[in-house]
Structures are given as structure tokens and as C-alpha cells.
Structure 1
Amino acid sequence: MADRPATADVRAEWERLIGDFEASIQASGLALRTVEHYSDVLRGVLLGFCERAGVPPQDLTKRYLERLAAELLQSGRSRLSVKTYLSAVNRFLRWCSDEGELGKLRAPQPSVERKVLDVLTREEIRRIEDAADTERDRLIVRVLADTGIRVGELRRLRTSDLTAQGRERYLRVRGKGAKERLVPVTPGLYSRLDRYVRRARPQAGTDLLFLTLVKGRSGDHSPISESSVQHLLSLLGRKAEIGRQVHPHLFRHSLATNLLRRNVNPVQVRDILGHSSLAMIDRVYSHLVASDAHQALMEALRADQ
């Protein structure tokens, strides 16, 4: 029987592959947080396991991956966490296979009971918006509710991102990995945003859309912070007597649920929310342009008005 390679050699071989993988996903435009997540999982979970087992890349087999999955489940981590870790491992393994570094391997993933997402009704959203004291705060609520954008995307909106294409109205949104997309908005919301920019938004040395209401030490209005948005929504949720914690991502979940319940094409939902992929959906549906997403979202929102 051949001797196992030294631990240092095993680590060096895995480090080389992981480093090349990191460079590849960085070059593809993935957000820094996503790259860091893969790095943490691959070094903390896969590399650590292979070091302990003395397994270099070329000796990795399905049985070792089954042992890795079993160890993670026995470690006290939740099944959802284990599934998340192994999803990252599997993406890395697919890359290794595509690059000819390894054969086709896949770590088994535990089943996870699906939880029903807590969502806001359209009436609750109206109450939250009505609880706001300023047009800026009301618009923050309405933009999150009607577009499903992330709080970071909300903070990056600029006054020039209000976009008209014929009779259709959009917001230009900068998502993860510096990717841009056009998100449909109703004519009513577009008009409110345009009026806010022209009449109510504070004059400042930045063209970011949502700013602090008061000037800071610099003597100017600053871009609103993520924590400020979170605090605002939590406060408005209490004022509106929603009865549960209100946070930015809750609006995103709520819009997606509303659209899917109305049988909006899942590919359109993906495009509206800015998800990078829905592989299973992509195999079934053809590519849809911005106008298709616009019509779907307008119909869903008008039904509630």
C-alpha cells in the first residue's frame, strides 16, 4: 500500500486548487461576500477534512465526501447550514471537473424541511407606509415593497436611475457583482420618485437618491446607511402594529411570494429580483426581455390597487 502524502503536501495541493477557484469566481464578477463565503467553507470544511484524512485532490472519492457530510451532520450544525456548506463544496467540485483537475464528484446534501416564509400582505405594507412621517421614508417602504430590491441596492440608487422607455417606467438597479438590471415600477411610483427628486430631496454633493434628513459633521447630507434603513423599518413596523419584526428582506420575500402566487413566470421573478440563476427554470423557459418582466409586475401590482 502506498504511503499517504504528508499533511503539508495535501494542504498545498488543495490550496492551489482553491486559490485558482477563487481567482476564477472573482473574475466572473461574484460579490466579495460570496467569494469570502466560498473561501471560508472550502478552507474550513473541505480542506480541514482532507488534511485530517490525508486525502490529496486526486484521491478524493464519493466515500470521502459521504464521510464529510456525515461529520458535518454529527457536529451539531443545523441541516440547513450543512446543506449550505456542501452546496459551496459542490460548486467547487464542478469547477474542478470542468477544468480537468478532478473527475465528476458530488457531496451528498441533507434534505431540509421547507419553512413557510413570513411575508407581508399588501394591506400591511400600506399600513407601514402610512406610518412614515416623511416622503423619503414612505418612498423607501414603497420602493422595497414594489421592486423587491436588496437594501444595498436601495442605497446605491441614484437620481439618474429613474428610467423611461416609451410608456414603461423602470429603476436602474446595481446588484451584486456590479451587475445592472432594469426593475419595473408603476407610473404612480415613478411620478412620486421624480417629484421627490425635484422638490423634496435635500440638495447635496452626491446624486444618491436616499440621503440622511439632517446634515452631518461634514456640513452635507450623507447617503443613508443600511443600519438606518433597518432601524426605520423596524420602527415603522411597530407603529403600524404589524406584530412581528419588519426588516428590508421581508419586503423582498413578500414580493416574490405575491408574484409566484399570481403565477408569474419564475424566470421573470428571477429577473426582477436579480438572482444570478434558477438553473431548473432556465432549462424550461426561454429568455425574457425587460418588457416581459414589466408587464408581469404591473399586472400583479395593479390587481392590489
Structure 2
Amino acid sequence: MKRKISMNEHSNTSLKEVWESFIISQTSRGVSPATIKNYHNHLKGIARHIDIEMPLADLTKRHLEQMVVSMRSDGLAHNSIATYLRVMNTFLRWCQREGLSDVVVPNLKEKDTVKETYSDRELEILLAKPAKNCDFCEYRNWVIINYLLNSGCRAATVRNIQNRDVDLESRQVVFRHTKNGRIQVSPLCSQMVSILADYMTIRKGNPEDYLFCNQYGEMLSENALRLAVAHYNKSRGIQKTSLHLFRHTFARKYLVDCGGNAFTLQRLLGHSTLTMSKRYCNIYDADIAKEFDAFSPLAKMTQQKSRIQRR
């Protein structure tokens, strides 16, 4: 019978060492590489506000409260602090299950913020088809921009799409690499089907090759994709370069311009719950602005005044 390690046995083990054990445990469970990378990065951030060399057994709620105060003093945004606390709680809950610590700290509720998006004018510029004599990379980048606006998918998903995942006849792409590990089917509009059909005749390659590759047919690295989109945008005079802004832009335009709903948006964006989709709905609520003249007290007063003047 396996015996749990008690807190006393590891009374001198530092927070940093236990965090590394936590990462090993999460990796063995099949947690995505992106999440593991975030755990490493968050530890570096936390280390600026708390002594991670202290024995985990000495950690108290007061230490965590002081960490939050330090973060606020350094000017960290409310939602950034909330993210640090959420990750810290994931770590502490793991410690509890392992019998290493019983410290807990309340999560900090994130504030809704207006997500920056690309304007329609910026999108018109980015979606303009490049000249026929452009090189493969510029053409590929144009296709990627189109695809981001078609699907709203994450950068990691774009990088991992393989040729075999694209079914032009069924007008869909299968996402085998998603944040939650679930296979997702993403639809293609008619225009995107045509764009991908042309692109794939040039890209060629085997079924297992990556759809959006570098000029040698190899998978794009995370940094290469980020730099490629940044270069493409700036070459067209657009200073915004974030890939994730296309995800926010997709959500806004789907809700505002296309009359979409939270339930379908959840499926399209691959969210596990409705929480994030509801946030988008709250931020980009188009229905409340439609025909508001019929309900606005100011509009009513103005209309009445106008009618009086015409008499």
C-alpha cells in the first residue's frame, strides 16, 4: 500500500523545488506544453514578489497576501494578479492532495475589460490579396490572416494543422491540437474553401505535413509564426501585430455583424464552458444598441421637441 508523503518529511523542501515536482507531475498527466511553459513563466514572475527558496512548510496565507501587495506596488494589472493567484492555487491544491501543504488563498475575480480588436479598415488592408509575383511566405501569411478571421482559432492550433486535417469537400478543418486536448471541427466559409484550395496546390506536401509551414516545408515555430504575422501587418502599415487580436476580432464580428450567439461561439472558439463566450457577449453586446432610438429617453424627448417645432 502506497504511503503519502507527509509535510514533516519535507519540512525543508523549498517552494521552488516543490513547484518543479508539481510541473513534473502535470507533465506526466499529459498537460499541454503551452500550459507547462506557463507554469515555468509564472514561477519566474512569482519569484519577484515572494521568496521561492523558503521551505514550503513555512509558507502562510500572510506571505501570499504580501505577494499580492508587492504585485500591486509594482503596478501589475488587476487581471494579471488574478492570473498569478489562479496558477498559485492550482499549485497549492496539488500540494494539498500530496499532503505537502494546507495553505489556500482566495482567487481574485478578474475584471471584464474591452478586448482590443482589428478595425474593419485594418482588416480590409490585411485581407487584400498580395500580388501574383509575391514570395511564398507573404502568400502563406495572407492565407493565415484569412484563416484566423474565418476560424478565430489560437496560434498554437494554426501551427499544428496538417494537410490531412483539411476537408474542402466537407468544408471543415479538424483541430487535433487544442488547448483542452479535445478534437474540434471548425467550419470553412465558401471564400476560405477557395483560398485554401489554391494555397494547397502550391503548398503540396504529404498528408502529415503541416499546412502552414516555412519555405522549406517545416513546421513554423511559435516565434516564427508571431514574427511572420508581425512583419506582414507592418509591411501593410498596420501597427497592431497580435495574433490573439484576431480571436477577439472574430468574436466581436461574429456577435455584432453576424448576429451570432454565445452557445455557437463557444463551440467555434473551443471553449470548455460558456464563461468566456458570455464575457464576449457582455463586451460586444450588439442587441442592446439595435433600434435604441425606439427606447432612448433622449431620442424620445428630441423627437417630441421636433414635432412641436414643426406645428
TM-score, normalising length: structure 1: 0.66
2:191 alignment counterpart: 188
Q: Which runs of 5+ in 2 are unaligned?
A: 1-8, 133-138, 279-311
User: Quick check: 1:10–1:56 contact (8 Å CA) kept in 2?
Assistant: yes
* Aligned partner of residue 172 in structure 2, secondary structure: strand
2:285 alignment counterpart: none
2:73 alignment counterpart: 74
2:3 alignment counterpart: none
CA 1:229 to 1:255, structure 2 compared with 1: closer, same or farther past 3 Å?
A: same
Q: How does 1:194-213 map to 2 (within 5 A)?
A: 194-197=197-200, 199-202=201-204, 207-213=209-215
* Aligned partner of residue 26 in structure 1, secondary structure: helix
Counterpart pick for 2:178 among 147, 158, 175: 175
User: Quick check: 2:50–2:63 contact (8 Å CA) kept in 1?
Assistant: no
Displacement of 1:171 after TM fit? 0.9
* Aligned partner of residue 182 in structure 1, secondary structure: strand
Question: What is the distance in 2 between the residues matched to 1:200 and 1:119?
Answer: 31
* Aligned partner of residue 172 in structure 1, secondary structure: strand
1:109 alignment counterpart: 108
Identity rate of aligned residues, in percent?
Answer: 23
* Aligned partner of residue 67 in structure 2, secondary structure: helix
* Aligned partner of residue 171 in structure 2, secondary structure: strand
Q: How does 1:14-53 map to 2 (within 5 A)?
A: 14=15, 17-42=18-43, 45=46, 48-49=50-51
CA 1:254 to 1:162, structure 2 compared with 1: closer, same or farther past 3 Å?
A: same
* Aligned partner of residue 183 in structure 1, secondary structure: strand
Aligned residues: 261
Displacement of 1:139 after TM fit? 1.9
Counterpart pick for 2:158 among 154, 159, 167: 154
Counterpart pick for 1:141 among 140, 145, 156: 145
Q: Deviations over 1:206-254 (max 9, x none)?
A: 73223445xxxxxx54445555544543454345444x32332221221
The aligned amino acid for 2:251 is A
Question: What is the distance in 2 between the residues matched to 1:263 and 1:196?
Answer: 30
Question: What is the distance in 2 between the residues matched to 1:41 and 1:193?
Answer: 38
Question: What is the distance in 1 between the residues matched to 2:72 and 2:260?
Answer: 37
2:254 alignment counterpart: 259
Which of the two has higher C-alpha Rg? 2
CA 1:225 to 1:36, structure 2 compared with 1: closer, same or farther past 3 Å?
A: closer
TM-score, normalising length: structure 2: 0.65
Q: Which runs of 5+ in 1 are unaligned?
A: 1-7, 214-219, 285-305
1:292 alignment counterpart: none
CA 1:281 to 1:94, structure 2 compared with 1: closer, same or farther past 3 Å?
A: farther
